[in-house]
Amino acid sequence: MEKASLLSFVSLTDGQLSKLQAVSPHLEILQQPEARAADLSEEVRRRVEILYGQKPSMLDAHLFPRLKWIQLNSAGFDYMRSNPVWQLDLPITTVRGIHIIPVSELALALIFAFRWKLRDLLRFQARAEWPQNRWEIFFVPELYGSTIGIVGYGVIGRELARQAQALGMRVLVVNHSGRRYPMRDEISSTVGDPEAAIPEKIYPTSGLLDMLPECDYVVAVAPSTDQSRHLFDTEAFAQMKRSAVFINVGRGALIDEAALIAALCQGQIAGAGLDVFEEEPLPASSPLWQMDNVILSPHIGGISARHHDRACEVLAENLRRYFHHEPLLNLVDRVRGY
């Protein structure tokens, strides 16, 4: 049997290489960290059957004539839509699910930051000031007994729900269908809420405006699709409590940023914690940088010291499935957009 050549644009450790090579003796692994297809010889490009990597290397995926499968080293794949391979009958898979822990931790960190007014604390510390009216400043409702609304109930939303429940929060959810369904065939099915048992109520996307008035914290973790673009618009922010905090650790396209800025300026909502934006890096001209009721992070939710090991686990499992002609994990649905 002829060997299948996998080209990795990611630098693999010896341990990761051993894990992958153990999948099949018919696997050949080539490494060209951070390279572009134009840097490779035609002979190498003709050998490659499987590509593993992320932007910008994957923008050249169409230059591999024998390519049969693309495994991304990321959960996001929007940039692939403009690639010629998007139009081909070629499977594209992601590492969706490996960011469950860091993204949900960041969402929770932002929630805690608003609960305890972290920006105020840091300002007082910088001025070496002990505020005389600290009872008034920090008289904020506890998380215990408050309501969190999670928009998007994939693996990250389910882990955040588990954490919120452990803090005594009431959990409401919006997903596409409004139904409870179990998560199957996931690498990290041992965390979160695989049976969707935690939420008090699950609303369909069309019911978002019904859920928002109930929530003290709203966290967006939904995928970016044509249907979810600007899901949070002027009408959505108008339905939220004036005391509510909005958190986005999903995709920047979920928000109409102009509507969010207006809602923050007009006091329609109390604050926002944002890790993702419509344009990244966020332009220096954006008013969000200067707003006292906003906490910004530079799209760091997926960063973890365990990222590459977890991604390698997905790749190894998908390689096993590939050689056994089984359905691949995290296959991108070009129609649904996730």
Catalytic residue among 45, 62, 229, 299: 299
Kindly report the length of the chain.
338
Residues in a beta bridge with 31: 8
What's phi and psi for 15, nearest 5 deg?
-65, -40
> Rounded to whole angstroms, how far apart are CA atoms 8 and 210?
46
Instruction: Report CA 107 to chain centroid distance, whole Å.
Output: 11
8 A C-beta contact, residue 16 and residue 306: no
CB 107 within 8 A of CB 249: yes
Q: Residue 201 CA to chain centroid, in angstroms?
A: 23
Q: 99, 170, 251, 310: which one is catalytic?
A: 251
What separation, in Å, do the N-terminal and C-terminal C-alpha atoms of the chain show? 34
Q: Active-site residue among 34, 142, 200, 280?
A: 280
Dump the DSSP string for 118-161: HHHHHHHHHTT---TTHHHHT----STT-EEEEE--SHHHHHHH
Known catalytic residue at 251: yes
Q: In the beta sheet, which residues pair with residue 27?
A: 4
Quick check: 279 and 252 in contact, CB under 8 A? yes
Residue located via tokens 């329609």: 268
CA atoms of 194 and 184, how far apart (whole Å): 8
DSSP string, 250-298: S-GGGB-HHHHHHHHHTTSSSEEEES--SSSSPPTT-GGGG-TTEEE--
Q: Is 31 helix (H, G, I), strand (E, B) or coil?
A: strand
CA 262, 266, 268, 272 torsion-angle sign: positive
Q: Residues 177, 207: contact at Cβ < 8 Å?
A: no
Q: Establish whether 99 is a catalytic residue.
A: no
Indicate which residues carry an active-site annotation.
251, 280, 299
